[in-house]
Structure 1
Amino acid sequence: MKIRDVIPDIPVSDIEASRGFYEDFLGLGTEEFNLGWVARFTSAETGAHVQLVTKDATAPITPVLSLKVDDIDAAYAEAVDRGLDIVHPLTTEEWGVTRFFVRDPDGNAINITQHRATEDRE
């Protein structure tokens, strides 16, 4: 599995209430997307970004980290082969990503994801 990007998922109670801190103070002024429960804020200068998450809309838990990978099917197969604790099954979500969640050894939920349409163009 090749990791293409690592994105911290920061738990917040209200995305709009947190917006000023992340956009203005931290300089992450570009909102890449906002689904109401998750939004990504990015620096136009450096490309650094974070995701603010209130509560995952389709999974039983909220991840602490999202990893974009080059081959989601291979990543899922490897997780299964290794007997890892998969806490959200391989799912293609309505907003266009295919993803699954796995727990790390300390119990943190990690979102492994691929946006097939975007990744195919790169």
Structure 2
Amino acid sequence: MTISLQYCQITVNDPEESLPFYRDGLGLEVRNDVSGNGFRWVTLGSGAEPAAEIVLSAPHAGRSQADGDILQELLVKGVLPIIVFRTDNLDAAFEKLVAAGAEVLQEPMEQQWGPRDCAFRDPSGNTVRITQNA
């Protein structure tokens, strides 16, 4: 048996507002863009991992009002799970995101637990870390 990641959901205030960060800053390609019932889901991926994709959607997209309200509250607080990407060139990834206007939380540095990484906040307040391959 094999198992692999296909989709990972990232909750954002507005997929359109988040596209410049994920598409232009991180260099992910838009693979699917679906609208329905007043909501939008944008799927992005990387050529480095063609089978794995992220899906950007608003808190209430496909959820009950109560669940969407709770997710919106967690998003506003900035306490949703951290998103971690990896790259083979951390400095280039950092500079590309800075040029795209991303909010820097941490410049590239060596971490005591091993990797060299940096951190940003996406337009919705999610913490996004980028780690360099060993």
Please give the TM-score of this superposition, normalised by the length of structure 1.
0.42
- Which structure has the greater CA radius of gyration? 2
